[in-house]
Amino acid sequence: MLTLESLAGGESQEVKISELESKLAQLGRSKMKENQGAEATVTRAASLTLVVLVETPEAAQEVSEQICAISEQNPCRAVVLVAQPEAKPAALRAWISVHFNQPSSASAKRLCAEQILVEARGDAVNDLGNVVLPLTLSGLPVHFWWRAARFDPPDYFRQVFRLTSRVLVDSARFLHPEPDLLELAGHVKRQSAQFSFLDLNWSRITPWRELISQCFDRPETRGYLDRLERVRIEYESESPRLAAQGVQALLIAGWLAGRLKWQPGARPSRKQNSTSSFYLRSAHGEVEVQRVARRFEGAGKGVCFWITLEGGGDPPASFKLDRGCDGRSVVTRAEILGRPLVTRTVRLEVLDEAQLVNEELQISGRDPIFEESLSIVARCLQT
């Protein structure tokens, strides 16, 4: 039997679906009495409902441990759904647990966060919407963390999405990156008016987007933005999650195209060995974007990229961002023919999954730059 004791590091109870709410309140009161002491005041608190979809019990264990860290910054009621529509026999079961944070001082409040695990097998997955809706906290936002191999919601989640204000996906988990990105882009286009989307993989490249922008901060380099002719993005080919960095390379290209008003479809894309190229139109001509899968020394210690942007003009210039051997630093170089080389080393902060989710839960509203970048990626993949 799967229980939350191993998942959340505390006592858990298996309960009937119809008794989830009452049993959860009872367990919370009981545990707060046990944990009350002179060192801190225990408070049952939540600022949102976090619904999480996973596909296996093992993934439920991983995400439950993540939720313990997430609730430190974003107190929430977490509803973890294990959906296995192909499993037999059909069954619907639930477990409840509570988690207490560690207060920073003796006078600080100790917060109690709640976890509910629902396991649905076979045809019982069709009841998930009816189970989740009563568990959402009234008056508080509902965030749906879609922690699955692709984003293609079945109809039984339609009711839950009506209450959802934001959907978090992670394209690093996509098994078939390019078609799965196209699928995601279609959903974003159709449903972004209903709720906002955020890709954790997009958040991972935020430092790289900032560093690229900084290459053109100086007056003598700013003019090259309009004269870029070639972008080459080399990414790790032997990562445990190859999709993660391959998709990140696409998103960087889409972001550049959107910010610089490049239009896809200058001519058909092509692929040769480990290099994929697609072509866009700028105000000054054609821009070639190359994605190159290669092996990096010390892979797996951070995001692995070598990015080169080449600009025409008089004199010509190139701008390079090279990942350091430790995987957590980047060396940037601005090379303008006939002028001194400008270089610097920047330390990267590599966030883990829980840290990324924590940051995104504190942001409200849509991210139009992400949506635009994803749309351009989809158009490039279709050329």
pLDDT number for residue 6: 33
Looking at residue 4, what is its pLDDT?
33
* Band of residue 364 on the pLDDT scale cut at 50, 70, 90: confident
Q: Where are the domains of the chain?
A: 5-169, 204-352+367-381
What confidence score (pLDDT) does residue 323 get?
Answer: 84
Q: What is the pLDDT of residue 3?
A: 35
Q: Max CA-CA distance within the chain? A: 75
Does residue 236 have a pLDDT over 90?
Answer: no
Residue 160: predicted pLDDT: 92
Determine what percent of the chain is predicted with pLDDT higher than 90: 55
> What is the model's pLDDT at position 370?
97
Checking if the pLDDT of 301 tops 60, the result is no
Q: 239: which residues sit within 8 A by CB, 6+ positions away? A: 245, 299, 300, 304
Beta bridge partner(s), residue 345: 331
Q: How far is CA 84 from CA 54, 56, 144, in A?
A: 9, 7, 18
CATH code of the domain occupying 204-352+367-381: 3.30.360
Q: Give me the chain's average pLDDT, please.
A: 84
Burial of 341 per CB tally in 10 Å (0-12, 13-18, 19+): exposed
> Is 31 within 8 Å of 98 (Cβ atoms)?
yes
pLDDT, tens digit (0-9, with 9 covering 90-100), for 249-263: 999 999 999 999 999
pLDDT value at position 8?
37
For the segment 98-110, what is each residue's pLDDT rounded down to a tens digit? 776 655 555 456 5
Average pLDDT over residues 255-278: 89
The larger pLDDT score, comparing residue 240 to residue 4, is at 240
Name the nearest CA neighbour of 340 among 249, 220, 253.
220
25-77, pLDDT tens digit by residue? 666 556 555 655 544 454 567 889 999 999 999 999 899 889 988 988 888 99
